[in-house]
Amino acid sequence: MLVIEPDELIRQLLCEWLAEAGYAVEVQSASGRRSAVAPDLVILNVPRVAGFQAAESLGEGNTAPVLAISARFRRGLGSSAATARRLGVHRVLPKPFTREELLQAVAESLQRPR
């Protein structure tokens, strides 16, 4: 699982929660480099929703489902399939979220067909 989150405190919390749940977590470096191993899920912070497209942000070669997290999402959008499709992601999760909400979104994202 690849986490792309610029805020260090949130990134550390995400990694801690995911590791405690048994997930192997990798963090994309500040330079944008990551390992050659393809992730099974990408958790991506979306700072600005307007004009965002996951394919443009991650590169066309990404085949992993994307869970977009953002403070710009409102609570009612958490399960919005239309919003996820518009952004080119599998699921959206509004910040702030609880550990349980994150783990549920991760589990649902991993179950979706690619």
Considering only CA atoms, which of 69, 65, 43 is closest in space to residue 113?
A: 65
| Cα separation, 93 vs 74, whole angstroms | 9
Domains of the chain listed by start with CATH number: 2-111 (3.40.50.2300)
Considering only CA atoms, which of 46, 45, 28 is closest in space to residue 37?
A: 28
Residues 70-107: pLDDT tens digits? 887 766 554 566 667 777 788 888 888 999 999 999 99
Looking at the DSSP bridge assignments, the partners of residue 45 are: 69
Residues 9-59: pLDDT tens digits? 999 999 999 999 999 999 885 545 555 677 889 898 887 665 555 555 565
Predicted TM-score (pTM) of the model is 0.77
